[in-house]
Structure 1
Amino acid sequence: MGKHSVDIRWTSRYDYEQGGRLNLHEHDFFQIIYFIDGKGTFTLGEAEYVISPGVFIFINPMLKHGFIPYGNSQIKTLDLKFDISDKDILEMASGLQAYQTDESMVIKDLLEKIRFEGLNKRLFYGEMACLFLIQILYTLFRQNGEPPKQKNITQAVYKLKNEPIEAAQRLEHYIQEHYAEELSLGAISAQLCYSSNYLSQIFKMNYGCTFTNYLRRIRIERSKELISYSALSLKQIAESVGFKTIYHFSRVFKETEGINPGKWKLRELEGIRKDVHFN
């Protein structure tokens, strides 16, 4: 077993053919199937669940499972198969809800990181992947084990009075919602009723980067999602995330990722339907 009480067997990013299904089967290990695109019905034991983008199924060993798409819907998934050796983790994992949603995209991000480690196999890739898996498990344990908490009103009022933090958060939220538009710190500052110099300083103090660098980072991360999960051309992707030209997009992408978007796309395509084994 792995050094961290978990052992990853296999991971994959898989695009099924249009109308393609996963026939009912079972196995002696845990599995997470994360649905990136497509809609359908997932069968797990005696239960049935509606699947859609952002849904994932946590599958315990020896449970029959499979899915059927709606019509010609194309199912796209991230898939992870693993074992658990630690008895406490095993007990908690066995009690997790099967049907889960990933509104914050945290689980998807961690599954992608595991796949990246397996594809590139850099030094300690197995150990890093196991740490990401443990993070997934404890995130699920926390989400499934804690009842919703009522907001602490006193604490909320205190946070609102802490103006530097609030100002930085308001700028961050604005960027997140409007990153595809033509943005300038001066125009946003006026809209949020702060001076641009003040907002620039507060944002850098809280987030460790400038407004411009953060905006670029958001645009590039969004473009990577579109390259991986959409059929848009690179030119269309560049425009949809806020770049005026594909040349500017390519330059910023290479500065950020180390390779141009065309090569990044080829690398992603090569990883689809490629079984990545860890042992």
Structure 2
Amino acid sequence: MIDINERMIIKALEKAINIINNSFSEKGPYSCSNILYKNGKIEENLLIDINNSLYYDSCHDFTEVCMCLEGTMALEIKGEIVKLNEGHYYIILPGLTHCEIPIKNRDYTALWLGTYMSKARLHLSGIRNGDFYISDLLFLTQSHIYSMILDNMLKESSYEGPLYHILVKTYLLQMYIKLFKQISERKSIDKGYESWRDSIVFQIRSLIMKNGAGNIKVRDISREMCMSKNYINNIFKAKTGMTITQYMENQRIVRAKQLLANSDMSINEISRQLGYYDRYHFTKAFKKATGYTPGSYRKQNAERTKEFSRVEG
């Protein structure tokens, strides 16, 4: 059974397909052809509050496509503001800092697509009756197909050869149709998690594992996942009973125990590897968590191992 969030996204994809299908005679703006704000000057008479973005700054290592389905919206891309009317889209390259900017008295709906950690991710955002909203994320498998289509779009957009805008729209139409079919048929929707919130927790844990608990901060995870710090913290705590910071600290202590027991690294080296400011802060955190200093824990573990070996022998 398709839930409410999926119905919303299916309806949005259907609208996107119809918009593109009906617009092949027009040029769809791709990147900075519609800049409103550059070098501190607003280029069009729209009431844009650049100091009060409705969304948070995002910066991640995957490509995203944002398409305006209804109304008028604006994106801030690396200090430039780009206006998108209904049917306009923008391809956001990896590493570009971006956010949604409010336009006074303008409601809109935007469809977002990106590929991340072997999954495609879709969500809606916009302003409705003056209030900003964002839908739950919907994750799909087969992201390599969408990544390949996105790569083709980028190649054509950078080349800008004859009728390139038609090719770009063709790829975009192909991608939305595939997404529409995949969700409608529900053959490949990721059912490995109890809910989409479980997949958020899984991604957070994966990022912490990939980077090391001492080498990543909550704000880094927030930017990578395109969600606010409070939002992901609330989801994580509801599912695990602890904040992301508490979880990372627990992981650091677990790793510290492993290194103290199974390596010849000095306590200073371990504290640096785990991202502590210095040995003092590492010792304080370790004792708070275990009741032992790192030195006494290592000594006790060595004595325990020696005693176990003697008994076994």
Shorter-chain TM-score range: 0.3 to 0.5
TM-score by length of 1: 0.41
TM-score by length of 2: 0.37
Higher RCO (CA < 8 A, seq sep 6+):
1
The structure with the largest alpha-carbon Rg is 2
